[in-house]
Structure 1
Amino acid sequence: MEQAEPPTARDDRPRVEEYRAAFSTFDPARYGPFLVDEPVYHAGMTMRRGRGAVDANTGAGRVLYPFGALRSSVRRAVAGDGWVAELIEREAVTNADAYYENVYTMFYEVVDGRIATQVEMLDFRVAATQFDLSALGPPADPGVQQVPAAVAVPPAADDDTPEAAAIRVVLAFLDDYLAFVPDRFVERLVADPGHQVGMTRRRGRDAYVAMAEAGRILYPEGIAGRTHHVLVSDGVTVATLMSLRARTHLGVDYENLYGIFVDVHDGRVANLVEVYDTRVADAAFDLSALSRS
């Protein structure tokens, strides 16, 4: 008797693209049918629940983007385990009559074809300079500072797929990179890797070494903990939504969300893009300490 092939994992990327097209209209009648009854919306570390949270975001969007987007380009899109992760570059003319360009890491949880969770990370420092935020009133729901409830499961030891192999490369790299010891991670990089934090782009291994040096100053006690809430791979790109916990050089107990996309080549890291909630970080660090070191 011929054995049936196991079912393939569902690819929710087309559904998310339909939702994004509807969401970009800022019209609840267009995007509402794509949402579960009680969706969760994260703007960085700020979490709100309910369709009202999504509607508040699009209401602000109508004010801040009076002309819509000039373009919104998906640089990476990776799906797995009920999540879709997208790395997006957006350009627009804002309500401040300013040209705006920013990078976004987006994570969508899809349940039965509908969006249950949406996590949006962007370089808030860039956004703060290009919009007239005074045009917005105070939010009806200020939200809470909270990481997502989801916890990703790393691939099983006997999973020899390219997707699992790429995830293992990235997890091993992050273990060493977040220890801030260059000798442990430099050889895990290609000779001339790309590196991007928010809208700041650098090249070369020296960019990673410089980040490690900064990490030793800003996190003198090291990283206390890290949780991967989303961890998906297509065998070349690994996308993860993770939270870090640490005590900073100011003695502040710090927890923040990071959206990270890593390209893997021949078992090494070729490019890393990292976006985090800069609003949370600004309250926890004194970056002038880096220039004094």
Structure 2
Amino acid sequence: MLPELEAILHRVRADRLSGASALAIGVCDPLRGLCERLQGMSAQKDLEEFAQALVRVQPNMGGIWNLANGILHRSADVSSVASFCGSMSLHCASASVRIAEVVASEVSGRRIITTSSSSAVFHTLVKASGERGTSVIVCESRPMREGILMARELGRVGVSVTVIADAALALFSSDASVAIAGADAVNRSGIIGKIGLAHLAMACDSRNMPLLVLADSSKFAPISLSKDLRDPSELLEPGTPGVSAENRYFEHVPFEHVSAIFSEKGRLSSEDAQRAVWGAKVHPKLVQKPQ
């Protein structure tokens, strides 16, 4: 594989904080530049190997899967790959703002609870904060505490935010009237998101509170949840006698626990989401093996 492709893979593998959209942009932009420099050359084998490796290093992100799938369908022509990467980067950069324009009116003036970090959630909360009475509860989102990072960014632009411990979500959900969350993928049976999403869904179920999931169309993908174990030292110091740690970043929440899904196209039912996933043209090299 070309060293430039290896370098992109290394960055994707090492990134433990970026959301799905930011990660996809972080792949698209350098890959587009590389393909533009390779004009007139054949890199099909390298691009195919890269696309398959991309899904292996981030198996739970629908945007990464769709990026890899698109690369595979175009791998014989580097100019086509460059054009595709440019289009996908623009889509990922703009879709979150477009989702916010749709969702902000649903949550404005309310006490909102969320977990983890999402560009679509961030833009929605910023837009909703213009309405008097809007405030936000954000779970810290361990192990990487990306919820705190988003809370700081929200605070810098004037949004009223309270950060809580993950374990306090059920307690503080009684103070909220709506929950929103980003998705890393929408598959045929539900939502794949960061650890904490299921906890949020259960709290919403127990209080009959709506849970709105925000996912642009690049995240709709026919993938299944991968166990994808991460560094146990993020949870537990190495060498603790008799104790082990299992560190998983992602979990799956079935559609029946989600009140609505919003993409840049508007409000979607679970049936709409399933149709979008089933409509994907899967490249043979990406057919997922049972886990």
TM-score, with structure 2 as normaliser: 0.23
More helix by percentage: 2
More strand by percentage: 1
